[in-house]
């Protein structure tokens, strides 16, 4: 059950990654230059209220150092790359390995 949920989340993250990559590709063709939109810019365009609420939550409840160090760095990366890495991690968590003993066991 949990593997299914991780694989479903990986599929959704990969879908978002592809959509963001297509948007960046379209913008790159229109501008005749490479355009990679940071995740922070995309998030502010979609929902600025949740972005500011997330920042205040992390700064108040967790640590301002976490926001300034790790989260700010991730938000400055291209959105398609962040979601592609997230999809890969979620898929690896939900991956079901083949049992090596099952291939050679007698039936």
For residue 61, what are the CA distances in angstroms to 17, 28, 56?
A: 29, 39, 8
pLDDT at 16: 96
pLDDT at 2: 87
pLDDT at 12: 97
Domain ranges of the chain: 2-95
Residues of the chain with pLDDT under 50: none
| pTM score, whole prediction | 0.83
């Amino acid at each position: 059950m949990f593997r299914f949920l991780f694989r479903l989340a990986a599929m959704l993250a990969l879908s978002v990654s592809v959509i963001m990559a297509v948007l960046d590709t379209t913008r790159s063709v229109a501008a005749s230059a490479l355009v990679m939109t940071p995740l922070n810019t995309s998030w502010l365009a979609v929902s600025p209220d949740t972005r500011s609420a997330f920042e205040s939550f992390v700064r108040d409840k967790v640590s301002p150092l976490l926001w300034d160090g790790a989260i700010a760095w991730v938000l400055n990366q291209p959105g398609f790359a962040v979601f592609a890495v997230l999809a890969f991690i979620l898929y690896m968590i939900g991956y079901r390995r083949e049992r090596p003993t099952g291939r050679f066991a007698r039936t």
